[in-house]
Amino acid sequence: MPGEPAEAPRAKSARAYSIATVCLSGTLDDRLEAAARAGFDGVEIFENDLIASASRVAEIRARAADLGLRIELYQPFRDAEGAPPERFKSVLRRMRAKLDLAAELGAPTVLVCSSVAPDTIGDDDLAAGQLHVLAGLAADRGLRLAYEALAWGRQVSTWEHSWGLVQRAGHPALGLCLDSFHVLSRTSDYAGIRSLPGDKIFFLQLADAPRLDMDVLQWSRHHRLFPLQGGFDLAGFTRAVDTTGYAGPLSLEVFNDVFRQADPHRTAVDAMRSLIALDDAVRPAAGQPGPLVPAPVLDGIAFAELTVDAESGPELQRWLGLLGFSHVGQHRSKPVQLWEQGGARILLNSSVDRSAPAEGSAAISAFALDSEQPARSAERAAQLLARPLPRTRAAAEADLTAVAAPDGTQIFFGRSEPDGPYGWLGDFLATGDRSGHPAGITGIDHLSLAQPYDRFDEAGLFYRSILGLRDDEAAEYAAPYGLVRTLAVHDPGGRVRLALSVPLLRRGEWAPGVTHPQHITLATGDIEATAAALTAAGAPLLPIPANYYDDLDARLALDPALLTRLRRIGGLYDEDAHGRYVQLFTPVISGRVFFEISQRIGGYRGYGLANEPVRMAAHRALRRAGRPDRGGRLGGVRRGR
């Protein structure tokens, strides 16, 4: 299935990993199978999922056992404590029924969440007494109750308050359930958790989330994420719980609109990857080895590969020539060309149409990373459940491991050397072509990869965890046809940069544009000289509207001479506290891809994301105008598109 490894050779850890069935889509059986195939040790059975199941309770227990899954928890039991006496009678009746069900299911623990009922009485003695009675019913059946404070609870909404009630109730079968969302959505101060006795924390539920200013219930129900995908300090929170001596599983409870309609197998792999990465972030700080091999140092982007066909191939060849690249190599056994300028290498692959959406279009289908230890990079990727991709290679060719990113892009680990087991340059026979004009391109600055709507958060976690990249810059901006969300990530040495983008809503018929636009950003040390060389070679660059420069002058009061030069070359400009950035763009080529040429001045750390709405509007205006480039095509886009 897409996004799913053939097996789940997860990184080894002494911890048990669990997932709530509510995190996944499909029937209960679909969810159990997905959790098992992703390598989870156990599951939380969510009550609604069980109620809707066609299987009886004993059958669900047997199915979980057959899949190698422990049923860790049954949840939730609602509106229990603080009930008026008449209502508490019905609470007792419900509890007896649910405890009998949990016992038949084989779940040792039932989660009780703090009451949200309007008639809940704010009397801690009453609430603690009722919890004591309910815990006694659980103990009679050999079960336990884990009491959780909902962040929107009527009377109990903090973990401190729930702990006070557990202490006051004083029953050995009653303990706490700590849920990271309910704690961290209210406060970033969780230090007090360290003082809890670990044997009274009966269960730990983990969820991340973006930092949003909204009703906490809606935030919880629609916007939770897997660990390390949001803005919460999940590593610090989990470390605090570990300090108590908690010995139970790390369990995920995530409510998310995307996950609820996505392929459960793929979501389960994403969920497992998040737990492995979280575990690896937590344990070294506690003086224990993490489950992952360390991410090797990356030396840069070795190459970017474009999939082309009979129409787009010649078009890309022409454009690479205009940009000053030379066709320096031909693959020994595959129809793959190597184009080079400075340290920038681009492959044109006409062997397999992996991702191009239509005839005549091209796509960034792969890229390679120069790793100091390619085998260790591949090992870490496997530990984090990256889907390995089969490769056909001749005996003398480099042994490059390829894994699939969430959007299907292939990632290779190797070395930009002519020989050695990972020296991929030796796979290409020299053509002797050095006809490319010197345009000053020095390398690949970064790749911009458009992500499928449902895979943006998964992709961010994938690149951060597998490659050891860090968040660099995040933005949301109003593009001509809707909001676009972007996340940029980089390696610690600043040699590998990726920018991921996605529309915040699925596009409708009104938003024609380009299907999944992607681009390669080429670096130069002198963008004015590069612009002059490209113009002399006949490479048409993207025209930028005069309004942009008027605004630039008003906002930044740039040196008039600099502003004049920017107008002349069609350059877009950005600056941060560390330096400046100037960027040029080509038209969209073959329907989907384009090139950016950029110069980082000083220590500029960004990606020019503030200019993206202008760039997108300029690309759209060029397509609508049908302006031909010097080759007679419409900016590399076929008429009528």
- The verdict on residue 292 lying in a domain is no
- The verdict on residue 11 lying in a domain is no
- The verdict on residue 9 lying in a domain is no
Residues 269 and 337 in one domain: no
Residues 281 and 302 in one domain: no
Beta bridge partners of 256: 223
Question: What band does 506 get if pLDDT is binned at 50, 70 and 90?
Answer: low
Residues 280 and 302 in one domain: no
Does position 640 have pLDDT exceeding 50, yes or no? no
Does position 379 have pLDDT exceeding 60, yes or no? yes
Tally the C-alpha atoms within 13 A of residue 119's C-alpha that lie toward its C-beta.
7
List the one residue out of 519, 530, 569, 628 whose CA is nearest residue 322.
530
What pLDDT does 614 receive?
A: 94
Q: CATH no. for residue 482?
A: 3.10.180.10
Residues 308 and 443 in one domain: yes
Residues 150 and 210 in one domain: yes
- The verdict on residue 89 lying in a domain is yes
What pLDDT does 536 receive?
A: 96
If one compares 297 and 514, the residue with the highest pLDDT of the two is 297
The stretch 150-160 carries a mean pLDDT of 96
Residues 546 and 485 in one domain: yes
Does position 628 have pLDDT exceeding 50, yes or no? no
The stretch 288-308 carries a mean pLDDT of 92
Cβ atoms < 10 Å from Cβ of 152: 17
**% of the chain exceeding 70 in pLDDT:** 91
What pLDDT does 519 receive?
A: 93
- The verdict on residue 12 lying in a domain is no
First vs last C-alpha separation in the chain: 33
What pLDDT does 550 receive?
A: 95
Token digits of residue 83: 């009930």
Let me know: does 298 contact 467? Beta carbons within 8 Å. Answer: yes
Element (H, E) at 29: helix 28-37
Q: Are strands 326-331 and 70-77 parallel, antiparallel or unpaired?
A: unpaired
d(CA 515, CA 639): 15
What pLDDT does 18 receive?
A: 98
Residues 345 and 237 in one domain: no
What pLDDT does 6 receive?
A: 39
Cβ atoms < 10 Å from Cβ of 48: 12
- The verdict on residue 631 lying in a domain is no
Helices (H), 106-146: 124-140
Does position 575 have pLDDT exceeding 50, yes or no? yes
Q: What is the pTM of this model?
A: 0.89
What pLDDT does 637 receive?
A: 38
List the one residue out of 497, 520, 326, 299 whose CA is nearest residue 414.
299
* Domain interval for residue 34: 17-286
Question: What band does 591 get if pLDDT is binned at 50, 70 and 90?
Answer: confident
Measured over all CA atoms, what is the biggest interatomic distance in the chain, rounded to whole angstroms? Answer: 90
Residues 109 and 179 in one domain: yes
Question: What band does 633 get if pLDDT is binned at 50, 70 and 90?
Answer: very low
Question: Of 264, 286, 308, which residue is a domain's last?
Answer: 286
What pLDDT does 218 receive?
A: 82
Give per-residue pLDDT as tens, 321-354. 999 999 999 999 899 999 999 999 999 999 865 4
Give per-residue pLDDT as tens, 436-472. 889 999 999 999 998 887 888 999 999 999 999 999 8
The stretch 414-424 carries a mean pLDDT of 91
DSSP 232: S
Contacts 24+ apart (CB under 8 A), 572-580: 572/544, 572/548, 572/608, 572/611, 572/614, 572/615, 573/611, 574/604, 574/606, 574/608, 574/610, 574/611, 575/604, 576/604, 576/605, 576/606, 578/602, 578/603, 578/604, 578/605, 579/603, 579/604, 579/605, 580/604
Residues 73 and 158 in one domain: yes
Q: What angle do CA 363, 365, 369 make, to 5 degrees?
A: 130
What pLDDT does 233 receive?
A: 94
What pLDDT does 507 receive?
A: 52
Q: CATH no. for residue 120?
A: 3.20.20.150
Angstrom distances, CA of residue 215 to CA of 113, 152, 221, 309: 19, 9, 10, 50
What pLDDT does 508 receive?
A: 52
What pLDDT does 9 receive?
A: 55
What pLDDT does 12 receive?
A: 58
The stretch 355-371 carries a mean pLDDT of 78
Element (H, E) at 623: helix 612-625
Report helix, strand or coil for 151. Answer: coil
Does position 274 have pLDDT exceeding 60, yes or no? yes
The stretch 203-214 carries a mean pLDDT of 87
What pLDDT does 348 receive?
A: 97
Tally the C-alpha atoms within 13 A of residue 247's C-alpha that lie toward its C-beta.
3
d(CA 439, CA 437): 6
Token digits of residue 62: 């047997």
Residues 477 and 586 in one domain: yes
Q: What angle do CA 296, 299, 304 make, to 5 degrees?
A: 110
Q: What is the rounded average pLDDT for all residues in the chain?
A: 89
Residues 160 and 188 in one domain: yes
d(CA 335, CA 372): 28
Question: What band does 502 get if pLDDT is binned at 50, 70 and 90?
Answer: confident
Residues 78 and 118 in one domain: yes
Angstrom distances, CA of residue 538 to CA of 323, 328, 535, 576, 624: 9, 21, 5, 33, 22
The stretch 39-47 carries a mean pLDDT of 97
- The verdict on residue 10 lying in a domain is no
Does position 578 have pLDDT exceeding 80, yes or no? yes
List all residues 6 or more positions away from 273 whose beta carbon is below 8 Å from its beta carbon: 384, 385, 461, 462, 465
- The verdict on residue 498 lying in a domain is yes
If one compares 451 and 138, the residue with the highest pLDDT of the two is 138
Tally of domains in the chain? 2
Beta bridge partners of 445: none
List the one residue out of 376, 389, 579, 536 whose CA is nearest residue 467.
376
Does position 4 have pLDDT exceeding 50, yes or no? no
Among the residue ranges 45-49, 173-177, 290-294, 563-567, the one predicted with the least confidence is 290-294
Does position 636 have pLDDT exceeding 60, yes or no? no
Token digits of residue 369: 């990373």
**% of the chain exceeding 90 in pLDDT:** 73
Let me know: does 491 contact 298? Beta carbons within 8 Å. Answer: yes
